[in-house]
Structure 1
Amino acid sequence: MSETGGVREVKSAARTVELLEVLAARGDRPARLQELADELGVPRSSMYALLQTLISRGWVRTDVTGSLYGIGMHALLTGTSYLDSDPRVRAVRPYLDEASQALGETLHLGRLDGRHVTYLATRESHEYLRTISRVGRRLPAHVGALGKALLAERGEEELPEGPYEALTPRSHTSRESLAADLTEVRARGYSIDREEGVTGIVGFGFTLRYDSPVRDAISCSVPVARLTPEHEGRIVAVMREIRAKIEATAPGTGGAPHWRR
């Protein structure tokens, strides 16, 4: 049995969380009982009992035949509570609106979560839609403007060993190439993702230094076809201004808990 912070992990609780994570990762692909039992390495009967318990509490849903399983409504309610309770997210949202009005492009707020970045807020462009950027989506940190901006705040020794997953032909797949890019990010003061995460999309990422270590960043995403040198200069200028406003007005922790994530 594994330990966390010197406390023994509760096996049944860990299995429940693992099941919910598996179902969440499947998105719109529901799972069958045997698939879940095999993936988590538990007896079919134990998995069935766990699923029924979670269905009764709204964390898992099933189809009319009772043979397919997916993530339930209560997972959404819990995720929404996370966003609503975070003062940083509340503080940044109005400035994403301001940047969206000024630029007409897609804006994001993301948070570093291990080797990934999770989107916490998004303002979509009226010109194009990117479903990959929806709130709650997690992407590898090495492929996007948000992640690269945040990784650049950390030392090279903290970068995970490669090889890295390639989402496009332009994605970094080695520790060496990513480290070289991050050196440029530090010198420039912001990151650039030129079709590394999504083909046809360029992103510009700016960290928000209201926490130490830095955990959050904002970005602007633009289709390659609309990105001229003049527009790029405008994006960088507006995003720098927005970052300064956020950092000047973001709430201090005060008496509130300083969450690890």
Structure 2
Amino acid sequence: MSVPSTAAAGGSQVKSALRTVELLEFFARRPGMHSLAEVQAALSYPKSSLYMLLRTLVELGWVETDGTGTRYGIGVRALLVGASYIDGDEAVAAARPVLDRLADDTTETIHFARLDGTDVVYLSTRQSQHSLRPFTRVGRRLPAHATSLGKALLATHTDDQVRQLLPERLEAVTEHTITDRERLIEELRTVQEHGYAVDREENTAGLRCFGIAVPYRSPARDAVSCSVPVARLTPGREQMIRDALFDARDRLTLACRHL
């Protein structure tokens, strides 16, 4: 009788681990419940292997099912791990008083986010004091090219690095989103010149955002932004927000200098 080699067993374990991570990332990017057929179509795993993996993750609490037991979504264990990441992140902790002050100074929605591949992920938010305000939540993931946060961070990279990171054609989130990589690179040069980035309704219609990178690392990995409904934005208010962001950047850089 042949015995599986240690290398073969190890390869199988690695493959299983990769599939587990890919499956959890699938659910993280697609909120709600999904059928086995939907998941299989997206990930192309063998149906029997996928079913067994899903059942295991359900038993462990990483995946949940609906009342019928045939649809699947992200489980509460993932929330616990995500929360522990935020709670243990030193940059998030150092940023808290700066974000509080920025929110008070602007009375608008504030985001602190990190570049993760081609996306930005919200690590901390402060809600606007106004009734007309955008929906925000920690853990939200958005395409970097369609946000002021992402453009501010991409601008700390070289043109070639941006070309390696992003495809030639970019996803259109709204009708205003820049979808051509070379046009985006041209705008990133303007961001470098001015020191801040602007999202002109490129991610959410009716919303303008101003973002600035926090250069405690190079290239920068974190940025802060202020989101304002276009209806509430005047030239004077825009200048005030930019000034407040530059002040916040300096304070954040100082607070994170040891990281």
The aligned residue for residue 68 of structure 1 is 71
- Asked whether the equivalents of residues 117 and 141 of structure 1 are also in contact (C-alpha less than 8 Å), the reply is yes
Identity of aligned residues (%): 47
**Distance in 1 between residues matched to 2:29 and 2:152, nearest whole Å:** 25
Q: Which residue among 150, 153, 166 is the counterpart of 1:150?
A: 153
| Secondary structure, counterpart of 1:10 in structure 2 | helix
Deviation at 1:38?
3.3
**Distance in 1 between residues matched to 2:175 and 2:66, nearest whole Å:** 38
The aligned residue for residue 104 of structure 1 is 107
Could you give the per-residue CA deviations for residues 23-80 of structure 1, whole angstroms, max 9, x where no partner exists?
A: 222202x111232233322232222211111111110111222111110000000000
**Distance in 2 between residues matched to 1:214 and 1:201, nearest whole Å:** 25
The aligned residue for residue 116 of structure 2 is 113
Deviation at 1:211?
1.4
- Asked whether the equivalents of residues 195 and 201 of structure 1 are also in contact (C-alpha less than 8 Å), the reply is yes
Q: Does 2:140 align with 1:134?
A: no
- Asked whether the equivalents of residues 198 and 208 of structure 2 are also in contact (C-alpha less than 8 Å), the reply is yes
Query: What is the RMSD computed on CA atoms of the aligned residues?
Result: 1.6
- Asked whether the equivalents of residues 156 and 218 of structure 2 are also in contact (C-alpha less than 8 Å), the reply is no
Deviation at 1:237?
1.1
Deviation at 1:106?
0.4
Could you give the per-residue CA deviations for residues 110-134 of structure 1, whole angstroms, max 9, x where no partner exists?
A: 1111111111111111323322x32
**Distance in 2 between residues matched to 1:242 and 1:93, nearest whole Å:** 11
2:80 alignment partner AA: L
The aligned residue for residue 15 of structure 1 is 19
**Distance in 1 between residues matched to 2:190 and 2:41, nearest whole Å:** 45
| Secondary structure, counterpart of 1:205 in structure 2 | strand
Q: Which residue among 31, 35, 39 is the counterpart of 1:32?
A: 35
- Structure 1 gaps of 5+ residues are 1-6, 254-261
- Superposed, 1:96-245 pairs within 5 Å as 96-127=99-130, 128-131=132-135, 133-159=136-162, 160-245=166-251
- Asked whether the equivalents of residues 88 and 251 of structure 1 are also in contact (C-alpha less than 8 Å), the reply is no
Deviation at 1:193?
1.3
| Structure 1 stretch displaced more, 142-151 or 161-170 | 161-170
What's the TM-score, normalizing by structure 1? 0.89
- Asked whether the equivalents of residues 87 and 251 of structure 1 are also in contact (C-alpha less than 8 Å), the reply is no
Q: Does 2:54 align with 1:51?
A: yes
The aligned residue for residue 4 of structure 2 is none
**Distance in 2 between residues matched to 1:154 and 1:123, nearest whole Å:** 27
Could you give the per-residue CA deviations for residues 182-236 of structure 1, whole angstroms, max 9, x where no partner exists?
A: 1111111111111111111111111101112210000001011111011011101
Q: Higher helix fraction: Structure 1 or Structure 2?
A: 2
2:247 alignment partner AA: E
Deviation at 1:251?
5.3
- Structure 2 gaps of 5+ residues are 1-9
| Secondary structure, counterpart of 2:102 in structure 1 | helix
| Structure 1 stretch displaced more, 159-168 or 222-231 | 159-168
Matched pairs, number:
245
* CA shift in 2, pair 1:169/1:35, >3 Å: closer
What's the TM-score, normalizing by structure 2? 0.90
- Asked whether the equivalents of residues 133 and 228 of structure 2 are also in contact (C-alpha less than 8 Å), the reply is no
**Distance in 2 between residues matched to 1:167 and 1:186, nearest whole Å:** 24
- Asked whether the equivalents of residues 174 and 202 of structure 2 are also in contact (C-alpha less than 8 Å), the reply is yes
**Distance in 2 between residues matched to 1:251 and 1:157, nearest whole Å:** 27
**Distance in 1 between residues matched to 2:178 and 2:236, nearest whole Å:** 27
